[in-house]
Every structure is written in structure tokens, then in C-alpha cells.
A and B are shown apart, each in its own frame.
Chain A
Amino acid sequence: MACFCITLLSYLVAGVGVAVVGYLVLRGLGPLGRGFFRATPVYGGNTLIQIWFQTVRIFLGAICIALPLGIGAGIYLSEYAPDSRMMHNTIDSIIGLAEVPPIVYGLFGWGAFSLYRGLEQVLTVVLLTSGIWLLPRIVLETYAALQQVPVSYRRESLALGASPWQTTWRAVLPSARRQLAIGILQGMARVSGEVAPIIVIAAEPGLGGDSLTILPYYLYRSIIEFPLGSREAQFAAALLLFATSLFLHLIAMLIEITHVTPVLGTEYQEGGRWW
């Protein structure tokens, strides 16, 4: 009986999901196809495609900040940090940081970059804030991916006369490559549609947030400002946003599917640190 209920519930949830996506595609595909892409300026003189490019640029910028720092910190925590209470506390607090609601990051970004550092470019502030918001997720994904690599690979590498850094670079990272890519892509997908931190920053009058052309924010603003009407542009924007994040998820899934799980004994599966 319980089993039946759970099955029913999962179909219900899946059904709701399909309905939402279906409705979005039905309402959004038409306007998208009818040239919202190129011709009609929908917002602040920008066409949808321009807004989309701007969005991608911002997130690529944020990733350029978050990836090197985040992967570096993840490698350090997994491979080099002494196995101490402080290291575990650090990891716990990074988990905490990753769970802080995005709107709080917005507040932080506004305070730190706009008020304190006096940056005037709204795009720069959004980019930096998004980068910082991505950071703890990337650290955790990296840490988790490296911890899955069996200790034996590290030992075998060191036994051949590799230095610790050679071991990280040549034995550990290549074995964690896929897991790393999947985790980071999924983290990016989650972040790509988030509007909360941007709202806070854009509300600062000194920043000229009105000109902010980022897809999720455009969606939010245009719905607030034009509560009535056909909402064609909004549906087109929503579909575009959904497709972007779906695209990231799909790449992650592709990597996952093509991954041949190696046949290993239990002893080999043991992950973690090696000293």
C-alpha cells in the first residue's frame, strides 16, 4: 500500500513537471519563433538575444572567478590539508556557505562591492557576486569528486617516485575528471536561473540597475512592470532560460552516461586521504 502510494505520488510529481514544461514550451515557442530573437527590442532597447548573450557573458565571468579559486581550494582540502579538526570545521562552514539563501549573497555583494568598494558598474557587481556565490559549491563539488578517487591510486603513484603534486595532477585529477565536470555543470545550471541576488543589487539606485540586462532579472522586471498583457515576451524569455539550464544539465548527463564504471573490488573503492 505504501509502495503504491509512493509510486502514485512520483507519477503525480512527474506529471506536474511535464505539465509545467509543456505549458512553457506551448506558450514560449511561438513568440520565440516569431522573431523575438532578433527584431523586437523587448527591454531597455535590447532584443532577447542580446539579453541572453549578456547573461551568458556574466556567468562565464563568474565562472572564471569561481573555478580556479574553487577547484584550488577543493584540491587543497582533499589532498593537502592536514586531517585536523580545523580542516573539518572549514569543510562544515563551506557546506553552510553553500546553503545560505542566494538573496543573502546579493546583500553581501551589494554591501561589499557597491557600498564598500564603491564599484559603479552594475554588471561588475553582479559578476563578482555571482562568482562568490558559486565558489562554495565548486569547492564542495571538487572536494567530493577527489574524495571518490581510491587511496590506492595515490599510493601507487607515490610508490613509483611521484611527488605529491605530480600525484594530484597525474593520478588523482584524471580519475576525478568526469565527476568534477558533472558536479560543476550541475552547480552552474542551478545558479544560471537564479534572480534573487541580482534583485538586491539592482535595487541600489546608484548602480543604475535599470539597465541590467540579464535573463532571469529581465523576466522578473518585465512581469512586475507589465502585470497585464499577453506576456508573449515573458514566455519566450522563460523558455530561453529553461533551455539554458537544461542544456547544462544535458551535458552533465551525457558525461555521466558515457562513463564506463570500472570493475573494482571493495578494497579499491576506498577513497579519501593518503597519509
Chain B
Amino acid sequence: MTDAKLVARDLSVYYGSFQALASINLAIPSDAATAIIGHTNAGKSSFLRSLCRMNELWDGARTEGQVLLGGENIYGPGIDVTEVRRRVGLLARRPSPFPRSIYENVAYGPRLHGVKQRSTLDDIVKKSLKQVALWKEVKDRLQTSALMLSPGQKARLCIARALAVEPEVLLIDDPASSLDPISTAKIEDLILELKEDYTIVLATHDMQQAGRVSDYIAFLAEGSLVEFGSTSDIFARPKDRRTEDYITGRFN
């Protein structure tokens, strides 16, 4: 296993008195794709959000434990939350572009972080859109509204928007749940490319998808980590009965 980029230590998430994640311990390898799999309500989204300090935006949400990003606890004192969120990008389950032009959507992040020069912004927009294979489709209409794009294009635009702030980690929440199969396949191709340069954490309920794109799999059930291993190991020799049932499609 390569170095761990993100390490969860006794990570618990509560919503009010309800515990959604119970003491997760997991090291997420650098420059690889790790899939977080599990049934609906297993806590996949909560886990992703707690890796980039987004969970605290939800009503009554509370996080305990540690998340180490490059060795530093992002829940520690004196941490700049905005910097954590810049370094760890989150693609929401249904990514929504801002109601403005394609260009402005991608330039939004760099502008936040102080990029003002037009030519620099142009370069960032072009590079980011190329990274998500959207440049050819939209290069002649960068100034049109992003809301006119198809759902699949919107999802890729949101990935480009996240890439534009030069994150180290990309958390992608269940893209298959809101997209058609063709768009989902494009996102999967994208993940395969991006994992060369970024650490990717993909939440998915789709075992096949996890098998296609991920190098490692973590299986969550009812807020607990059941099993973690390389994708081939998990498929070939699941240690836990629940994992085996999930892989073979025997639900509960």
C-alpha cells in the first residue's frame, strides 16, 4: 500500500442523538481510487462530508475523532477550514452548477483564492474543462448559462469547478444515483484518469462500479466499517459474511 493521504481515526458522526458513523478507522491511500460501498443510509455520504469538514453545515451534525490530511488533524485547533475544503474537494450527490456562465462556474474557485488576472483564469478554465473532457463540447459557448447543460455535462462541469482550485483529494458522492448509464460511464472513465494525479474517494452503492474504477474498497454497514482491502481481495476473498452477501447481491 502507498502512503495514506487521509486517515480517519475513531471518526464518529452524530445527527442530534443519532449516531450515523461509529468510530471509523481507515487509511485512504494516496493517488488511488478508494470506493466506499454500502446500502442506502450506511453512512457513505456522512463519511465523505466529514473528510472535508462539510458535515458541520448540516443541522445538529457533530463529528468526533480525527481526520489526518497529510498527517495533520483537520479537526484540530487552529485549522483553516476553507483551506481544508480547498484541498479536499467534494462532489455532492447531485452536483449543481451556479446559475451563471460555464466560464464563471469554473473560475469561481480560483477567484475566491485570489486569482484576478484574466489570462490566468482563462488558462485555468481551459485546463480544468479539458481534464473532464468537456472542453471540446463547450469551448464555443463558455459564456452561456451552465444550467443549459445536460445532467451529465453538469456533473463534469462541477468536477472541473472542483479541479480548478487544485485540490489534492476528490470526494465523489454516488454519481450513478442521479445520472443515466452513459453519463455515469463517462464519469467512471474520468475517475480512472484522475486517480493518477489525485486521491479519489468514491461513495457508491453499486458494487460493479466499485469493481470497475477502484483500487481499494471499504465496506460500510449501518455506520460501521466492516471491511477494507484492495478491490481484487475484496471481490475474491471477502472476510466478512455481510461483504460477501453484498457482493453477490444477496441483500440481508
Contact = CB atoms under 8 A, between A and B. Distances in A.
Interface of A: 83, 150, 152-153, 155-163, 166, 170-171, 174-175, 260, 262-265, 267-268, 274-275
A160 B109 contact: yes
Nearest to A166: B112
B96 A159 contact: no
Given A155-B57, A158-B54, A161-B82, A174 B100 contact: yes
A264 B113 CA distance: 28
Nearest to B80: A161
Given A160-B161, A275-B58, A265 B94 contact: yes
B162 A160 contact: yes
* Most chain A CB inside 10 Å of its own CB: which residue of B89, B96, B108, B165: B96
B21 interface: no
B210 interface: no
A157 B108 contact: yes
B131 interface: no
Interface of B: 52, 54, 56-59, 82-83, 85-86, 89-90, 92, 94-96, 98-100, 108-109, 111-113, 145, 147, 158, 161-162, 165
Given A171-B98, A268-B96, A159 B112 contact: no
Nearest to A260: B145
A254 to B, nearest CB: 20
Given A158-B85, A161-B85, A262-B145, 11 more contacts: A153-B96, A157-B98, A159-B54, A159-B85, A162-B112, A163-B82, A166-B112, A170-B108, A170-B112, A263-B147, A275-B59
A81 B108 CA distance: 26
Contacts of B58: 275
A204 to B, nearest CB: 50
Given A158-B57, A160-B161, A163-B82, A175 B98 contact: yes
A275 B161 CA distance: 22
A160 B98 contact: no
B98 A156 contact: yes
A163 B82 CA distance: 6
A166 B100 CA distance: 16
Contacts of B147: 262-264
B54 A161 contact: no
Contact of B83 (A83, A152, A161): A161
Contacts of B99: 153, 175, 262
Contacts of A157: 98, 108
A160 B90 CA distance: 8
A171 B161 CA distance: 14
Contacts of A152: 92, 94, 96
Contacts of B90: 159
Contacts of A264: 96, 147
- Going nearest first, the 7 A-B pairs with the smallest beta carbon separation are A161-B86, A160-B109, A262-B147, A161-B85, A152-B96, A161-B82, A159-B90
Contacts of B108: 157, 160, 170-171
Nearest to B85: A161
Given A161-B85, A163-B82, A274-B57, A153 B92 contact: no
Contacts of B92: 152, 155-156, 159
Contacts of B82: 161-163
Nearest to A268: B96
Given A155-B57, A161-B113, A150 B96 contact: yes
Given A262-B147, A264-B147, A159 B89 contact: yes
Contacts of A153: 96, 98-99
Contacts of A158: 54, 57, 85
Given A161-B85, A161-B86, A170-B112, A275 B52 contact: no
B86 A160 contact: yes
Nearest to A175: B99
B124 to A, nearest CB: 13
Contacts of B59: 83, 275
Contacts of B57: 155, 158, 274-275
A263 B86 CA distance: 29
Contacts of A166: 112
Given A262-B145, A263-B147, A160 B112 contact: yes
Contacts of A267: 94
Given A156-B92, A158-B85, A267-B94, A275 B56 contact: yes
A143 to B, nearest CB: 19
B54 A155 contact: yes
A175 to B, nearest CB: 6
> Of A157, A161, A163, A175, which is in contact with the most chain B CB atoms at under 10 Å from its CB?
A161
Contacts of A175: 98-99
Contacts of A162: 82, 112
Contacts of A161: 82-83, 85-86, 109, 112-113, 165
